[in-house]
Structure formats: structure tokens, C-alpha cells
Copies of this chain bind each other. A is one copy, B any other.
């Protein structure tokens, strides 16, 4: 046969896990979805259907729950490291293991200003994310945030861009700026506190979005990336993807009215997509 299997990998996706840590005072809740991907000496399964080196994806799923039970961890980054180390250590045929985790936000319900010990409210599109890969070349780890929806009603311009045959958009000196921030940062080799790093970066992204006077989504993206790196010294670089979720001023002229930046149509499609990677010099 004149064909070759150039690359292969396999794993289990969307392994959903809820872990409750019960202390006297209160319960801690972690809820997440784990994707696991292995590379290694699995070609025989592709070539001949000989599965003797294959770890069933069902067994991978079991392993996630067993590791969650047998280990203490307080961040998804720690748990992802645990999982990857387990697969690399246990199976000689595994050359690399990658665990990608997305954690659901659950906030404690507040009653009379006090956080409840075991009742939570969720439903947020925002997830905390991480991805850890361990292989022969060592370990790499990223942390991240996805689905962080933010909107500001002013302090955003967009003007003086290319004018040619294809332009119909007018200069805007005051517009709504809305986006769903997706951030992914690379951790350095030794990180003391994944949770502290995540919290500092999240706060920096929100504060910068709120307070930066924006001449373009691009400019605000860079400012947010710089603030994130300034907030956590353990991070080498950060990639930001910021879709421009347009609020289009509704044209009230046919009705004899003036739209003084009050009435907008939120649209999902099409959307601008602005990306950038900010790194330490």
C-alpha cells in the first residue's frame, strides 16, 4: 500500500466531574469537563486492529474519577498535571499526555451579606481553563479564561481606518464595545500559586477593559494583555481573542427620529475577530 499513517492521537473528551470537599465549616465545589489526549505507540491499532497497546478511552474516563478521589488538589492546573503524569508514568507506550480542563463557575449564594456554606449559583458562560501537556520534552502548561462577556457603553472609538471602495462604515467617536474575552497564558517553569495567578489576571483583564479609553479593539487588547502580564510574574505570555460583538445603531431616520447613541441592534453574525499574543520582552 502506498499510504502511511503520519500522525495519530486519541483520547476521551467531555469527561465531566463534580468534586465536593466537605469540611466542618463549609463545602468546596469544583465542577469541570476534562479532555484527555494521548500520543504514543498506538499505530498497530490503526494498521491491523491489534489493540493490545491501547488504553480504552473508557478506562481513561475511569482514571479521571479515580485520580480525583485519590488526590487532593485545589486548581484545575494541579489536577491536569496529576492526570498527565499518571498516564506517562503508568504506560510505556504513551509518549505524551495532554489534559485540557474547563471549569464551571459556581458562586456561593449570598444571604444577608453572608456566603452560604453549601448552596451555589451558576450559569455563567465564563469558564476557567487550562491545558497541560507532558511528554519527553518535559511539561508545558497554560491557564486561561473563555466566555468572559463584557460590554462598555462609551469610551470606545473607531475611526481613520482605510477608506476605499469597500468601506461603508462611518467613523465612530463613541460606540458600544462588547466582546467575549478568550485568554490563554503560558506558565513559566515554577508556579507557586495557580489560583492566585488566575485571580490576578482575571481582575486585570476586567479592570483594563473597564478603564482603558479605546481607539480600537486592537489597542484595548494589547493593554489588557500587558496588564495581565504585569499582574502575574509567573506567566510568560498571553494570547487574547476578542470577537467584536457589534451593537449596531438602529437607523431611526426613516421614522423622523434621531438616534443619539441610545438604540442598538445586538448581532451575533458576522463578528469581527481580533487576536494578539503579548509577551515579556
Contacts and interface: CB of A to CB of B under 8 A. Distances in A.
Interface in A58-78: 58-63, 65-66, 68-70
A38 to B, nearest CB: 10
A268 B270 contact: no
Contacts of A4: 278-281
Interface string A43-61: 0011111111111111111
Contacts of A255: 62, 66, 165-166
A135 interface: no
Given A8-B277, A218-B42, A262 B20 contact: yes
A199 interface: no
A140 interface: no
Residue in A29, A266, A268 whose Cβ sees the most chain B Cβ within 10 Å: A266
A68 B250 CA distance: 11
A188 interface: no
A222 B47 contact: yes
Nearest to A125: B123
Contact of A66 (B149, B166, B219): B166
A7 B191 CA distance: 25
A85 interface: no
A234 interface: no
A219 B14 contact: no
